[in-house]
Structure 1
Amino acid sequence: MPHPARRRAFRSGVALLTLSTAALVGLPAGPAAAGPAPRPDLKVALVPVTTAVKTQNNEAVTALRAEVTNVGTATVEDVTVAFKLPAGSAIYGDPSWQCDYATFVCTNIHGPVPAGGAAEPLRIYFSLPLAPAGTVATIGAAVSTSVRESATNNNTAQLKTTYADIADLQLSAGDAAGAGSETDVSIEGGPLLPTFTAKNVGTGTAQDLKLVVDLPAGVTVDGDPASDPGAWDCATGTDQVICTAGPLAPEEVSSVTLALRAGPGAADERFAVPGTLTSSSPVWRVEPARSDANYHYVGPVPADIAVTNVVLLDQEVGPGEIVEIGVVVENLADGPAQDVRVRLALAPTIRPIEGGAGNTAWDCAPGQDAETGAWYWECTYASVERYQYHYLPLSVTFDAGTPEGQVAVTATVQSASEDLDPANNSRQAFTTYRP
């Protein structure tokens, strides 16, 4: 049996330990250990834009895209990519970043790159030293920033590319306005004649050309395609036209024109007929050749039909005299003036001469107002096109009852088309009547 004094000491120790533990449980926890500071982490990848090095005109050219992503936890304000190229290389053209053409160091000019984000891709062409077909060139890149990164083992990348004789296809598309320009279409719709022109600007032949033209909503096939005999063979569907041809040697050009029709549209609405050109042969560019024929719906173009002159050369006239009055009609605007009507208003004592509308393609006839008794010449014409000039020689005679003094004749023109300036629709000429 333990000694009584020892039992008391043991019980005191247990009590003291229990109190100490309780006191510790009541104390607040101390600060947690701080984690690592947020840092950026840049990663670079080189993506080919061209499939090979194309040697042409004493230049060997290739292209790539440098893609920089920030896989870290902090935004980075500045990014540079330094390229390592074969000796004798140069930057070709104008890259999408600001580049030093001597050091091959390119600086991002498109703003900060946030954590988890990507910089604007750097698209760049290089001129490499000349070498035989089959030669492999290596292009390296290193990305960097002025701040510390959480890791740097992903800051470099390499791309290998091979010198080759290779086709390089280009495609251009256009209609009446020409390639790269918009062609106007009436809001009522109408025929479209897009021409797609393929050109091989490479050094190898392109076999088995394939042109796929997608038809937008409202556009339908309206006839057979046209091309050089035997050049293109086209199959039409409800939403596509697919044409095949080939081969296309270096510097050769081949075109095909489609017969399409656009349905009605709204004024100022725009649409495109896109084409994509491919080949069964290797081609220089990774992306297929594409081009659009662009169109623009326009409302009716107004005319500006005008009487620009009334020619009455006789300063004085007498009873029974026959006088020629010339009416000049012009369309001063781009739109045609349809169903044009000209009236030369006279007086009850000034009469048109039967058969006096000579030397004109207009349909002219005399008439008399039933209420006032005033005579007139009236002439009609189907359409006066833009900037056309028409002269109407109309003969009249003055009866003895014409009042003495100044006499006015008035020519007025009207059309069924919208008129830009109705203020120029009328004009007068004057003469003096002497009994």
Structure 2
Amino acid sequence: MSQDDKREQSKQNGTQTQAAESDEGHTDEEYDLIQIEKHGITVRISKYEIYSAKDITVEVTEEVPPELKLKETEAIISVGLKMSPSDAIFDSPVRVTMPHCGAFTKPTDAEVYIYYRKNDSAKFKAFLSTSTSIPKCVVRDRDLDIDLEHFSEFWIIATIRKIFIGKRVICTPIIPVLAPRNPMPVLWVNVRDQNVAEGQIPEGYKVPIPGEQFLVRWRSGELKISCKESTLKGDPRILKEGEIRHQTEHKLMFEVDTQNISENKFNLHFTLQQNTTKELIVPMSLKETATVISEEGACSQSTIATSSPSAGNHPTENIGSASTSESRTPREESAYVSDDILRDIAGRVDKEKDVDALGGKLGFYSSEILPFLEKNRNKPCMGTLQMLRDWRKRTKKSEERELLRQALIDIKYVRLVDELLSEC
């Protein structure tokens, strides 16, 4: 670098440092504020700018676009933001304060890149951002400030190195409100970055421990999650490193064999294994199964909810339970789907893209469908059958037939619906 270039760079750094120092004395009274409370984001725009808060749109996105290509040593630490109008230029930088899920030994020395693109661009550009650069980024323990002179879509990326301990990841076990004793209830562990909003819990399921769930610090490497009581014999379900580096949500599913458990409530033992091992103990309640004889002398199965705190808190969510004084009517029976029908469907929906589409229509995430597709490659149809059985276990019996009919119609298997699930 020539002496003239060095003098010019020194002059620019001095100007940026002065601007940063003068900025510290400003108060919120000098700014128009845009706040996204759900994500803890605040945007400050100087009242002396020609643009005001009412002229600006701020949109949060948790879905990582495929065009965002990360290096092996990089991890997303915050949600993405899309700000418009993209052609806006500001004399005083717009300050965005937002939480992050990165864990650093010294946040002020974190190596952070801002990946951004304009609204009409397909590619992202990466800029190393510091406390004196433009765009400027100041990182603290739990949140960060970004100063922007123009708008775009941007993502905050941290480099995985010695100062970067990892990401704060929340692992939430989700279990049935009251699990039937004889069948094998399906449960799963929801894994997400700390500042990804928690998804909606399906009807009939609950988070067994209220409040913020189990928080772990993920470092580079895969994350193994296992359940000792699972029919998988405690074998871990693995989240690859590339999946955790992105700002995504994952569900790892397990089956629990409750047939030989005599207690009404027992503890599930989850193990999270990465650089360190963490044990999670989660209470789970069961419900009794009794035989009911109707007036005609026919036997039918009914369930009796055990008295437990979770049962009292969710009186209307006992999926699949029935009164001991009633038996199922023929109309109710017609809503169920037998295992023979599931086997037939699994044998005839044989194309991988159709199995993937069917899983999506039945409410499975892409990460949940992949193991079923993998199982199909080793044992044709068995992965699809397992997917259908897992879906049936977490679905109201009275809704099984209609939901399955609609899913098959949506993926263009109308003839199969007419043969196996006709409305009669």
Indicate whether the TM-score tops 0.5.
no
Which TM-score applies when normalising by structure 1? 0.27
Which TM-score applies when normalising by structure 2? 0.27
Instruction: Tell which structure's C-alpha radius of gyration is larger.
Output: 1
